[in-house]
Amino acid sequence: MKSIFKISGIMVLFLFSGCLQGMENAPDFTLKDVDGNSFSLHDFKGKIVILDFMATWCTPCEKQMEELVSLSKEIGNDTVIISIDIDLSENIQQIKSFMEKYNATWIFARDTAEEKVAAKYNVVAIPKIVVIGKDGKILYSHSGVTEKEKLLSIIKG
């Protein structure tokens, strides 16, 4: 009987955590892109931001990259993609090579031990996509590959 209550409690927590999307403010952060330019999440207030947590050695991240490349051709200037490499051991040249491999033209950065962006967004598996609305609230968060069509439906509301 106790285990039924525990399982029920866990299920309620999972259901409630899904309800927080759209209500939770996205944690701000400041990073440098692969060209050394500093940027913060708040620089993009008023735009939809897609955060892509990834690593260059991650096979599912390559599939996510293909989805994002396709998506990038269909979105307007009111949507920004930011890929954040969470592997602190990877160097900038590895990230640039990954970008070139996919002809990706959006912002790429590497997480830092000081900023810990992945921890702020509870990244436990990659790829992880987080979509932030124009108001700075988290609209969507998912670990695993998110298809372009799903992202388009979120962006278009």
Residue of 26, 31, 58, 75 with catalytic role: 58
Give Cβ neighbours of residue 152 (< 8 Å, ≥ 6 apart): 71, 74
- Is residue 61 part of the annotated active site? The answer reads yes
Residue of 26, 50, 54, 61 marked catalytic: 61
* 134 burial level (CB within 10 Å; 0-12, 13-18, 19+): middle
CA 145 → CA 24, 39, 91, 105, 148, distances in Å?
22, 26, 24, 20, 9
Is 19 assigned a catalytic role? no
Residues labelled catalytic: 58, 61
